[in-house]
Structures are given as C-alpha cells and as structure tokens.
Amino acid sequence: MQTNARRDGDEWVITGQKHYTTNGTGWDKTGCELYTVVCRTDPAAGADDALAVIAVPGAAPGITVAGVYDKIGHRGVVTPRVHFDQVRVPAANLIGQPGRPGKQIVTGAFSWTAALIGAACVGTMRAAFEYALDFARTETRLGTVPVIEHQNVGFMLVDIKMRIEACRYLTWKACHDFERTGGRADELAIMTKVYCSEAAVETVYDCMRVVGIASYTKDLAPLEKIMRDAMVFPLYDGGNQGVRRRQLHDILRHPGYDPMAAARGDGLPEDQ
C-alpha cells in the first residue's frame, strides 16, 4: 500500500498510483465520478495504525487515467491504471478512521466479494465440464465406442464433477453464513475464494486433457477461452498467496479462534 494521504489543514492530499482497479474508469476509460481510495496516512506505519479509506470525487484535479491493461483473459471488464498527484479533498471525506477501523472496512469489502467469486468459479467449471462431457459422449476417436466408456476418461470426469459440487456447496454455505452474521463470519468466504479459484484452474485443465490437443485451439473448442478466464481467479481480488492465505493465517492465529465455528455457523468472537 504505497498511496499516501497527507493531512494539510482541512484537507487530505493524496499521492500515489492505483492499478488493477476493475472498471475504475467507466466504459469510456476516462474516469469515474467517485473513487474510494485506500491509502496510508503515515507511510512509515503499518496498516493497523495508518490504513485509511477516503472518498475522492473523480473530477478532482490531479487524477489521471494512465492507461488500461491488455489482459489475456477476463476481457469483459476494464482494468485501468489511475494515478493521483497531490489530489486534495476535504478532511470530512475520510470514511471511518485511520488504522484498524480503516483496515476492517477494507477487509469487510473484500470478504463478500471472496464468497461471490466462488459462484463465478463454479459457473466457469460447469461450462468446461459440460463441453468435455458432451465430447466424451459423442467422440470415438480411433475406437468403436464413445471415449466416456474408457475408465481413464470416465474417472477423470467423475473427479471433475465432485470438485464442482464441493465448490458449489462451499460457496452456498459461505454466502449464507456471511449474510446471516452481517459479514462477521468471513473465514468460509475467504476459503471459498482460495479453494474454488484454484480448483477452477485445475478443473478446466482436466477438461482440456479429456478433449485433447483440440482444446488448445481457438477454432475447435471453447476451452482455451475458459482457461484464460479461469487463470485470473487465484490472482485477482486479493491474490491467494499475497492476501487471502494471509487473511486465513491471521484468523487461525487469533487467541479466540474456534476451529469448529465455521462448520457450526457460529460466527466469530466479539473481539475478533
């Protein structure tokens, strides 16, 4: 978090860069009407002391759309680079308070998106599976029966389907618990993001293995496009390695952590 907000009288002065801010420029790629900018009020302090969320009008002087990333997949959204150069906003535009309250705002915002990514992963896996299943039912290749009759193909499809259903029910439970507890039960939501996103990449690849080399072409099968979209799931909305596993690690480290709370649907201790 390298974007800083410096207090100057009755204003915050924001300087830094925000990349991968999905649809943060609108479809015309010129900018949006309002940003919520996550920044540090003290560049030398950690997130628990200095993380802040500030509302910034899109028309404020000093905001520049530096460009848009050309991604290999997930092309239905605009992924811009937005730069802030001495952008001044009223001090009252601070949302919450710097430090732990600001960190909790950010964590809460990313928790509900984590659960919903599970649904996107399930849909992606389902599309790949249904194509591979139809292929296996109809193609004989050099044999005399459809390839689904062979154990190696059939067993692979079985494993794929079980993985999809596991992700589907994990997503349902995570969303239910998150809504029921007002966002406090975020452990399953974060787990959903990590597990389902990585399962999606593995599943689409297995579907490609069922279909064979034709799955790697743009002309003969939709699986190459599905794979390009699936590959972003572990990387975006808080990368699994740099963000999500760290969040789960923090949950496990908490003195009041109950390893069965998520299974029971109890929510979290008041002080967590």
In terms of Cα–Cα distance, which of 93, 79, 74, 92 is closest to 35?
93
237 in catalytic set: yes
CATH number at residue 155: 1.20.140.10
Same domain (yes/no): 94, 105: no
In this predicted model, what pLDDT tens digit does every residue of 43-63 receive, in sequence order?
A: 888 888 899 999 999 999 999
Same domain (yes/no): 122, 188: yes
CA angle 204, 210, 212 (to 5 degrees): 100
- Looking at the structure of the chain, the number of domains it has is 2
Q: What average pLDDT does the segment 143-165 reach?
A: 96
The single residue of 134, 177, 237, 250 carrying the catalytic annotation is 237
Q: Which domain holds residue 144?
A: 101-264
Same domain (yes/no): 94, 111: no
Binning the chain into helix, strand and coil, the percentages to the nearest 5 are: 50, 15, 35
pLDDT tops 60 at residue 26: yes
Same domain (yes/no): 57, 174: no
Bigger pLDDT: 14 vs 220? 14
Question: Which of residues 98, 128, 147 is at a domain's end?
Answer: 98
Number of other CB atoms surrounding residue 113 within 10 Å: 13
Question: Which of residues 68, 83, 98 is at a domain's end?
Answer: 98
Same domain (yes/no): 127, 260: yes
Same domain (yes/no): 87, 197: no
Same domain (yes/no): 143, 51: no
Same domain (yes/no): 12, 72: yes
Same domain (yes/no): 166, 106: yes
> What residues pair up with 226 in beta bridges, in sequence order?
none
pTM exceeds 0.85, yes or no: yes
User: Residue 153 in contact with residue 136, Cβ under 8 Å?
Assistant: yes
Mean pLDDT of the chain: 91
* Residue 270 domain-assigned (yes or no): no
